[in-house]
């Protein structure tokens, strides 16, 4: 039941209708089991992410392995109950992905010219020199894995051009997610009238730490085994600017549109993204870069099928899933499933900036990503050696300041504790120490982003 | 027609009788005069022609038989001096052959017209003779003896009251069994009889009351008041029973019948009667799940069934994803289900025919029936048009779910729709004894939103005219003209300039003429022909709204002609062995105008490999398919209540649904065979043993089958089927095998009745090809989506009193196959699941128990309307039976979800009324 109201809008409405009509059947989350054969098959599945564009730049190919369910529970981060100290980590670098290292990657054009790639980071292969896919040329991807297995793609070429005519943001209301900002594009096919578009976007937004202070803790010489515990705790002026940062998130869903069947050759007001007004992303200045890839029909269908397989459709008729064959084939005898599609696209992009005030004038800004409250606890604790259960050590008090800092800097300094606080006041602590502190994410914006102003940023 | 069983039939006095040049009427009066007989008849029954006869030493009966030969007349010897001639009527005509039991000897000289097909069971009302009666009967003397003249009649009168309440009981039959007289009480419970003096054996008879038996010695006029007791088990004694031995004596392999009455007491979801759901509880018939449209019969796909409503095809006889039937329950009389050797007059679908009949309507008085349930309201009327001859039946029903949705006031549901309705009208006219016409019009419509952007609607339309014409007693012909249409549309209303309306429709018109010819007692032929014209609009997309830039796209229409010519002989080889052997020559021609793509042999089909496009003009045959279809059945009676039945059939099917979902949905399109898509074919053999016990009160049967199919359609993973002109590049054709054994125990009479069915069956399909892109699961056999090996159904009804009955319905099925992912991967900043072999896993087993109580209103007091309440609880166990398991990728993470349609017990109350 819980998941029902929290899933994607597409089918929830219909499900609700069904539920109401039928006095509530419903959807529940389950765990599924796996078997040996499936595990072996999954481990032998190579994932290829390769989109060659007509922009003159360093091109990138990412190789990874699928994960079987023995090692990874299919149920992941619970958005409904995020731990206050943790923020969903959207950085692909930090995901538990089994990257395929040590492969040799080459793109070859139809004249036999080869563009070599080198592994810059584990599993991420970058072209040695920047290059652009040229119109009218065929390109194919050649991969030789460390195991010696070879994978070859079909020849693909730039399937025409189009321009991203406009990107706009409008205040809108989504029936399920309430008021927010709708981003929509106009895409115009410039060669002929038929084009298939795949949209990706990159959101960059300013994050201001709400409980930032110019000073911070510095812990040194900590020895939890000494009795009494040894440590030096200083409060020093911050040297790195971490009140204002910029966070960048990549789009996750497959967004595709087409001008096929449209007389104008232009896809107008096509919605690519919606942010509801409760999201902290738009609390400060926000920017979105939408990239429009012109792809060919096969690539479009590949992504379309992938999308169909991973959404609910409707409760009554589920799309029959199966293995999706792309345009990459392993050599005949390789015990390998190859997932992914090597596409060659023509890209055009647009970026816009916006402020919350422009869309919701006079309204309260959305809350920060996590609730930020000041806490306080004793600075130190009893010795941990021999190991004493934490709860017994502080007679019900939260972890001590030095432990929280030692655990990876979970907190940042805010101020000295105000002894006059009464129960119910913000920042009141049952078991106060000398300092008020904040969860690190509330006092140090580098948890969420970078403190470097991006090159493209315009205030 | 064999009514010679009169009490004097044994009279073997032999006489001589001769005449010349008399009409038959003249001869009869002469015979009457000579033998002092009273012979009752109407002179106009006889032909004018004169005859001459000379009989020597013959019994009266044999003379009578001779005199009536060549006419439609029967005689009945009432007593030694009385003969009553009767003329065969159509009612006798339709009496099941085995109406009097198989041992009954037919009088061949006067045998009535043929009933060619399996005998239609007639309800037999078993009256209360079986009630044990006390052996000592009270004797009452009435009146004072006076001198009376012979032949004088006296009046016996009185009141009949119910013993406990003292209320007068109307309509009680008061019979004097030894005098052949009787009357019925009026509203005040008053009766009056004129009787000769002497001993009267008096009996009362009334449904719902214990009978009273008295010996009355009548001397003079007098009064006799009687008290009667309510008979608690009375209704149990009135049993609507299918033809008792039909189960054993049926010849056609793989047949079932469901009467609407049967479906009345079975608890069903949300109080809606659903005869198709009842069908699914019979062995060999199953559904992919709650909310799955369509039935799977003996391992057949859902598109292999033909639902005929008074001979007109209904493409989708369900509402709201199969949860409700799209047939008005009050108008539906019965469904004949053929799942084995389908009779030759049907053709075109591989698995089964559901031949749905509606009621004929009352020709004497206006009748109505209705119900109000939590989801729908139903209403039906039977309106006499010409009294005693023709009648109009009107039925309508609608769901008020829209109203429910609106009144919930939930924001998420704003603008959401889900509604349906259906309407039926039939007109039946018995023009005369030899001609009967039944015209039917039917329409059903569903509308619902799947997403907030789109609105889906689908509709069925069906119309038919069926004319039954009796040429003579041996030839009964049927002419049918039927037209059906199925259409759906999807309206998309989103943000961009891409709003559209998408429409699809399939329409067919069929003309069928066939005759049942009773050649003699042993041979009964069925022959005829049928022709059907199809026209399909495979998809039209047009702009919707001023802002839409959508170009009108139309996939060119498809047309085809399907025809069949058929002949079958039902041949009674001996008393024990009966055969039904038939052949149907099936023909299909896909018609132009059309452009068809040609693909080279030895290469996978995809849009790039088409080598040529062939253009066909209007009316030109693109490609023809067809061949002989054998329909053969044999029944051998091992004993009066034990038989063996075997069947073989092969079939062709030229129209297919294209679906890329795991269960069938209303927006699946029907596609005709064409240049590239071959017809589906099947062959089936079956063998069964049938045993009845206790005078057919209990039927037990076991029947096994094996079925091969060829060229069944499936699709490539992720196929795009809608608005795809080259749809042949998305489908693959493979073969299937299905086998199973079906057990059924059925109790037809008594307080407790119902059935227990168990089916073990397997259904597997194989899609093999030299090209990996056209293989599924490496070209090996794998379980079909609806393969559910174990299937148990228990349907039971227990009647406590004539007003209260309890019913239950239990279902167990192995969970259907499902494709689980084998792993997950990260792609495009999001997690996705990786699928491999299709249908390797199964969702959990399906277990459900439903209970229901029927409360009948009081019959006696409310003469005008009769009502009953149905209270039922669906899924009493509250088991969350998974309907599907699926995987969604959201927020960059993959989640496994399981959906069930009815996860909790669902109570409902329905009020039914009749007037």
Three-class secondary structure assignment of B238-305 = CCCCCCCCHHHHCCCCCEEEEEHHHHHCCCCHHHCCCHHHHHHCCCCEECCCCCCCCCEECCCCHHHE
ipTM > 0.85, yes or no: no
Rg of chain A over CA atoms, in angstroms? 26
Measured between CB atoms, which of B290, B418, B819 is closest to A17?
B418
Structure tokens at A238: 């911050």
Query: DSSP code of B774?
Result: G
- Contact across the interface for A16 and B410, Cβ inside 8 Å: yes
Rounded to the nearest 10 degrees, what angle do helices B24-35 and B60-68 cross at? 170
Domains of chain B, CATH where assigned? 14-87 (3.55.50.30), 132-230 (2.60.40.1120), 352-914 (2.40.170.20)
Domain total in chain A: 1
Across the range B626-632, mean pLDDT stands at: 95
Measured between CB atoms, which of B550, B717, B904 is closest to A324?
B717
What does the pLDDT read at residue A104? Answer: 95
**Rounded distance, CA B893 to CA B642, Å?**
62
N-term to C-term CA, chain A:
44
- Contact across the interface for A25 and B883, Cβ inside 8 Å: yes
What does the pLDDT read at residue B111? Answer: 35
Contacts of A176 in chain B (CB under 8 A): 412, 452
Q: Which tens digits make up the pLDDT trace of B856-901?
A: 876 555 556 788 888 888 888 888 888 777 777 666 667 777 777 7
What does the pLDDT read at residue B135? Answer: 43
Measured between CB atoms, which of A252, A261, A318 is closest to B892?
A252
From residue A361, alpha-carbon distances to A364, B406, B451 in Å are: 9, 33, 32
- Contact across the interface for B718 and A22, Cβ inside 8 Å: no
Measured between CB atoms, which of A28, A270, A312 is closest to B888?
A312
pLDDT band at B794 (very low <50, low <70, confident <90, very high): very high
- Contact across the interface for A271 and B827, Cβ inside 8 Å: no
**Rounded distance, CA B387 to CA B383, Å?**
10
**Rounded distance, CA B433 to CA B454, Å?**
54
**Rounded distance, CA B522 to CA B630, Å?**
21
Measured between CB atoms, which of A15, A29, A323 is closest to B835?
A323
Residue in B with minimal Cα distance to A265:
B549
What does the pLDDT read at residue B689? Answer: 94
Residue in B with minimal Cα distance to A27:
B899
**Rounded distance, CA B307 to CA B506, Å?**
15
Mutate which of B496, B772, B875 to disrupt the A interface (most A C-beta within 10 Å)? B496
Low-confidence spans in chain A with pLDDT less than 70: 1-26, 70-96, 311-318, 386-396
Residue in A with minimal Cα distance to B549:
A262
Q: Is the pLDDT of residue B83 over 60?
A: yes
Greater confidence (B125 vs B792) lies with B792
Backbone angles phi, psi at A18, to 5 degrees: -60, -45
Across the range B379-401, mean pLDDT stands at: 90
Contacts of B776 in chain A (CB under 8 A): 322
Q: Is residue A253 part of a domain?
A: no
With a CB cutoff of 8 Å and minimum separation 6, the contacts of A246 are: A204, A205, A206, A207, A449, A450, A451, A452, A453, A454, A457
| Interface list for A 357-376 with B (CB within 8 A) | none
Structure tokens at A350: 């647009």
What does the pLDDT read at residue A23? Answer: 37
- Contact across the interface for A305 and B718, Cβ inside 8 Å: yes
Backbone angles phi, psi at B260, to 5 degrees: -55, -35
**Rounded distance, CA A350 to CA A364, Å?**
29
CA-based angle A422:A425:A429, to the nearest 5? 70
Q: Is residue A394 part of a domain?
A: yes
Measured between CB atoms, which of A32, A68, A310 is closest to B820?
A32
The torsion region of residue B507 among left (phi > 0), alpha (psi -120 to 50) and beta comes to beta
Residue in A with minimal Cα distance to B838:
A322
| Interface list for B 541-580 with A (CB within 8 A) | 541, 547, 549-551, 553
Q: Nearest CA to B239 among B643, B749, B654, B842? A: B749
Structural domain for A236, as ranges: 212-241+371-447
Contacts of A13 in chain B (CB under 8 A): 412-413, 416, 449, 451-452
The whole-model pTM stands at: 0.73
Greater confidence (B551 vs A116) lies with A116
Q: Is B608 exposed, middle or buried (0-12, 13-18, 19+ CB in 10 A)?
A: exposed
Greater confidence (B625 vs A9) lies with B625
**Rounded distance, CA B694 to CA B691, Å?**
10
Q: Is residue A412 part of a domain?
A: yes
Q: Using the structure block, give the residue that is written with the tokens 């209705």.
A: B370
Mutate which of B723, B828, B907 to disrupt the A interface (most A C-beta within 10 Å)? B828
pLDDT band at B533 (very low <50, low <70, confident <90, very high): very high
Q: Helices H, strands E: what count in chain A?
A: 7, 24
Q: Is the pLDDT of residue B26 over 60?
A: yes
- Interface contact A122, partner B, CB < 8 A: no
Q: Is residue A13 part of a domain?
A: no
With a CB cutoff of 8 Å and minimum separation 6, the contacts of A168 are: A183, A184, A185, A352
Contacts of A263 in chain B (CB under 8 A): 549-551
**Rounded distance, CA A165 to CA A167, Å?**
7
| Interface list for A 289-328 with B (CB within 8 A) | 301, 304-306, 308-325
Measured between CB atoms, which of A11, A264, A269 is closest to B451?
A11
Percent with pLDDT over 90 in chain B:
32
From residue B408, alpha-carbon distances to A21, A24, B319, B371, B398 in Å are: 11, 14, 22, 24, 19
Min Cα distance A328 → chain B (Å) is 13
Measured between CB atoms, which of B290, B663, B888 is closest to A317?
B663
Mean pLDDT of chain B: 81
Q: Is residue A341 part of a domain?
A: no
Residue in A with minimal Cα distance to B399:
A21
Residue in A with minimal Cα distance to B819:
A321
What does the pLDDT read at residue A261? Answer: 81
**Rounded distance, CA A72 to CA A88, Å?**
17
Q: Using the structure block, give the residue that is written with the tokens 């919605």.
A: A271
3-state secondary structure of B795: strand
pLDDT band at B110 (very low <50, low <70, confident <90, very high): very low
Q: Contact B70/B54 with Cβ under 8 angstroms?
A: no
| Interior/surface letters B524-558, b for 16+ CB within 10 angstroms, e for the rest | bbbbbbbebbbbbbbbbbebbeeebbbbebebeeb
Structure tokens at B806: 């309890």
Q: Is residue A308 part of a domain?
A: no
Q: Helices H, strands E: what count in chain B?
A: 8, 57
Across the range B234-259, mean pLDDT stands at: 63
Min Cα distance B122 → chain A (Å) is 37
| Interface list for B 413-442 with A (CB within 8 A) | 413-416, 418
Measured between CB atoms, which of B553, B659, B773 is closest to A261?
B553
Across the range B325-342, mean pLDDT stands at: 89
Q: Contact B350/B653 with Cβ under 8 angstroms?
A: yes
Q: Is residue A442 part of a domain?
A: yes
From residue B893, alpha-carbon distances to A95, A253, A315 in Å are: 11, 11, 20
Strands A45-53 and A337-354: parallel
- Contact across the interface for A47 and B897, Cβ inside 8 Å: no
Structure tokens at B147: 């001198």
What does the pLDDT read at residue A429? Answer: 85
With a CB cutoff of 8 Å and minimum separation 6, the contacts of A182 are: A169, A170, A171, A172, A174, A271, A273, A274, B495
CA-based angle A326:A327:A330, to the nearest 5? 95
**Edge-to-edge, what's the strand order for the sheet holding B82-87?**
B38-40, B82-87, B73-79
Q: Is the pLDDT of residue B698 over 80?
A: yes
- Interface contact A336, partner B, CB < 8 A: no
Q: Nearest CA to B514 among B442, B424, B454, B584? A: B584
| Interface list for B 478-507 with A (CB within 8 A) | 494-498
């Amino acid at each position: 039941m819980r998941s029902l109201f929290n899933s994607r809008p597409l089918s929830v409405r219909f499900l609700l209708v069904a539920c109401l009509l039928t006095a509530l059947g419903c959807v529940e989350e389950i765990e599924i089991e796996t078997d040996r054969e499936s595990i072996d098959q999954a481990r032998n599945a190579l994932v290829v992410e390769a989109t060659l564009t007509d922009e003159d730049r360093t091109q990138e190919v990412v190789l990874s392995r699928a994960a079987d369910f023995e090692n990874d529970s299919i149920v992941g981060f619970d958005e409904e109950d995020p731990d206050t100290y943790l923020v969903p980590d959207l950085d692909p670098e930090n995901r538990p992905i089994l990257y395929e290292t040590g492969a040799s990657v080459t793109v070859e054009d139809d004249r036999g010219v080869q563009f070599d790639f080198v592994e810059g980071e584990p599993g991420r292969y970058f072209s040695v020199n920047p290059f652009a896919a040229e119109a009218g040329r065929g390109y194919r991807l050649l991969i030789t894995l460390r195991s010696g297995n070879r994978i070859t793609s079909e020849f693909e070429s730039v399937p025409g051009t189009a321009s991203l005519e406009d990107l706009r943001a409008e205040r809108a209301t989504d029936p399920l997610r309430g008021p927010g900002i709708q981003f929509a594009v106009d895409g115009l096919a410039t060669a002929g009238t038929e084009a298939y578009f795949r949209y990706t976007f990159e959101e960059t937004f300013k994050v201001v730490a709400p409980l930032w202070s110019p000073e911070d803790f510095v812990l040194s010489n900590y020895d939890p085994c000494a009795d009494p515990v040894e440590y030096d705790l200083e409060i020093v002026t911050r040297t790195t600017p971490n009140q204002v940062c910029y966070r960048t998130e990549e789009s996750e869903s497959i967004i595709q549109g087409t001008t096929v069947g449209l007389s104008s050759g232009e896809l107008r007001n096509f919605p690519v993204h919606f942010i509801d007004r409760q999201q902290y992303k738009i609390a400060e200045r926000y920017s979105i870069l939408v990239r429009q890839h012109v792809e060919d029909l096969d690539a479009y269908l590949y992504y379309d099928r992938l999308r169909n397989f991973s959404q609910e459709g409707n409760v009554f008729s589920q799309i029959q899933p199966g293995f999706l064959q792309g345009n990459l084939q392993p050599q005949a005898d390789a015990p390998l499933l190859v997932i992914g599609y090597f596409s060659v696209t023509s890209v055009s992009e647009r970026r816009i900036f916006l402020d919350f005030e422009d869309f919701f004038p006079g309204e309260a800004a959305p809350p920060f990503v996590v609730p930020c409250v000041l806490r306080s606890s004793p600075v130190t604790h009893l010795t941990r050696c021999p190991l004493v259960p934490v709860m017994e050590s502080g007679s019900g008090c939260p972890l001590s300041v030095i432990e929280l800092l030692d655990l990876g800097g979970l907190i940042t300094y805010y101020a000295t504790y105000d002894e006059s606080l009464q129960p119910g006041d913000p920042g009141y602590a049952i078991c106060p120490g000398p300092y008020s502190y904040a969860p690190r994410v509330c006092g140090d914006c580098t948890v969420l982003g970078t403190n470097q102003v991006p090159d493209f940023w315009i205030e | 027609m064999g009514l010679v069983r009169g009490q004097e039939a044994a009279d073997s006095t032999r006489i001589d009788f001769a005449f010349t040049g008399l009409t038959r009427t003249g001869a009869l009066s002469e015979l009457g005069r000579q033998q002092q007989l009273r012979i009752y008849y109407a002179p106009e029954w006889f032909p004018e022609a004169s005859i001459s006869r000379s009989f020597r030493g013959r019994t009266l009966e044999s003379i009578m038989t001779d005199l009536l030969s060549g006419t439609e007349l029967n005689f009945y010897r009432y007593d030694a001096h009385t003969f009553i001639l009767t003329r065969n009527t159509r009612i006798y005509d339709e009496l099941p052959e085995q109406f009097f039991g198989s041992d009954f000897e037919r009088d061949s000289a006067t045998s009535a017209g043929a009933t060619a097909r399996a005998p239609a069971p007639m309800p037999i009302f078993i009256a209360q003779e079986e009630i044990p009666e006390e052996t000592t009967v009270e004797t009452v003397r009435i009146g004072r003896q006076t001198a009376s003249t012979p032949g004088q009649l006296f009046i016996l009168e009185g009141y009949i009251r119910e013993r406990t309440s003292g209320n007068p009981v109307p309509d009680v039959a008061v019979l004097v069994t030894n005098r052949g007289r009787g009357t019925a009480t009026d509203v005040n419970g008053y009766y009056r009889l004129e009787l000769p003096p002497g001993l009267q054996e008096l009996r009362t008879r009334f449904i719902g009351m214990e009978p009273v038996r008295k010996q009355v010695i009548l001397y003079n006029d007098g009064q006799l008041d009687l008290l009667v007791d309510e008979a608690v088990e009375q209704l149990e004694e009135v049993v609507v029973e299918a033809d008792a031995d039909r189960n054993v004596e049926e010849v056609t392999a793989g047949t079932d019948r469901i009467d609407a009455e049967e479906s009345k007491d079975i608890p069903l979801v949300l109080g809606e009667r659903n005869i198709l759901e009842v069908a699914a509880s019979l062995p060999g018939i199953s559904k992919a799940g709650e909310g799955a449209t369509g039935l799977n019969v003996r391992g057949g796909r859902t598109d292999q069934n033909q639902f005929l409503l008074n001979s007109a095809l209904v493409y989708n006889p369900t509402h709201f994803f199969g949860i409700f039937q799209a047939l008005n329950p009050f108008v539906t009389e019965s469904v004949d289900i053929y799942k084995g050797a389908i009779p030759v007059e049907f053709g075109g679908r591989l698995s089964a025919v559901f031949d749905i009949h509606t009621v004929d309507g009352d020709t004497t008085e206006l009748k109505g029936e209705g119900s109000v349930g939590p989801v729908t309201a139903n209403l039906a009327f039977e309106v006499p048009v010409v009294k005693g001859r023709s009648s109009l039946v009107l039925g309508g029903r609608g769901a008020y779910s829209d109203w429910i949705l609106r009144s919930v006031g939930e924001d998420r549901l704003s603008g959401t729709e889900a509604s349906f309705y259906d309407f039926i009208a039939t007109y039946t006219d018995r023009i005369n004894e030899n001609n009967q016409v039944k015209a039917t019009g039917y329409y059903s419509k569903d509308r619902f939103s799947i997403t907030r952007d789109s609105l889906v609607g689908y509709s069925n339309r069906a119309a038919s005219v069926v004319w039954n014409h009796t040429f003579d007693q041996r030839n009964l012909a049927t002419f049918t003209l039927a037209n059906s249409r199925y259409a759906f549309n999807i309206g998309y209303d989103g943000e961009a300039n891409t709003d559209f309306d998408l429409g699809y429709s399939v329409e067919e018109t069929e003309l069928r003429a066939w005759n049942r010819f009773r050649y003699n007692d042993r041979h009964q032929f069925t022959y005829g022909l049928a022709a059907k014209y199809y026209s399909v609009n495979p998809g039209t997309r047009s702009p919707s709204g001023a802002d839409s830039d959508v170009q009108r796209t139309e996939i060119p229409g498809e047309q085809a002609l399907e025809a069949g010519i058929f002949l079958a002989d039902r041949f009674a080889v001996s008393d024990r062995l009966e055969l039904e052997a038939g052949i149907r020559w099936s023909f299909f021609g896909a018609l132009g105008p059309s452009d068809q793509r040609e693909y080279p042999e030895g290469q996978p089909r995809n849009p790039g490999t088409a080598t040529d496009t062939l253009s066909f003009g209007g009316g030109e045959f693109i490609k023809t398919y067809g061949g002989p279809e054998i329909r053969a059945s044999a029944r051998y009676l091992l004993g009066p209540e034990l038989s063996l039945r075997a069947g073989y059939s092969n079939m062709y099917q030229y129209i297919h649904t294209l679906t890329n979902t795991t269960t069938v949905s209303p927006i699946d399109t029907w596609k005709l065979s064409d240049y590239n898509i071959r017809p589906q074919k099947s062959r089936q053999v079956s063998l069964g043993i049938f045993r009845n016990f206790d005078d057919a009160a209990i039927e037990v049967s076991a029947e096994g089958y094996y079925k091969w199919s060829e060229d069944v359609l499936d699709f490539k993973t992720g196929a795009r089927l809608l608005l795809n002109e080259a749809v042949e590049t998305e489908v693959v054709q493979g073969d299937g095998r299905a086998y199973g054994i079906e057990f059924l125990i059925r109790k037809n009479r008594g307080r407790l009745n119902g059935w227990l069915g168990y089916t073990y069956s397997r259904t597997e399909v194989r899609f093999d090809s030299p090209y990996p892109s056209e293989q599924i699961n490496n070209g090996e056999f794998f379980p079909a989506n609806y393969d559910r090996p174990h299937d148990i159904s228990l349907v039971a009804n227990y009647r406590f009193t004539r007003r209260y009955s309890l019913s239950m319905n239990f279902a167990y099925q192995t969970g259907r196959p499902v494709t689980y992912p084998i792993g997950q991967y990260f792609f495009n900043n999001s997690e996705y699941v990786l699928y491999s072999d299709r249908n390797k896993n199964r969702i959990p087993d399906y277990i459900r128990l439903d209970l229901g109580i029927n409360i009948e209103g009081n019959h006696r007091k409310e003469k005008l309307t009769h009502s009953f309440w149905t209270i039922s609880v669906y899924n009493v166990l509250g088991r969350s039976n998974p309907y599907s398991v699926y995987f969604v990728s959201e927020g960059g993470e993959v989640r496994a979800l399981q959906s069930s349609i009815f996860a909790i017990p669902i109570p409902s109350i329905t009020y039914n009324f009749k007037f």
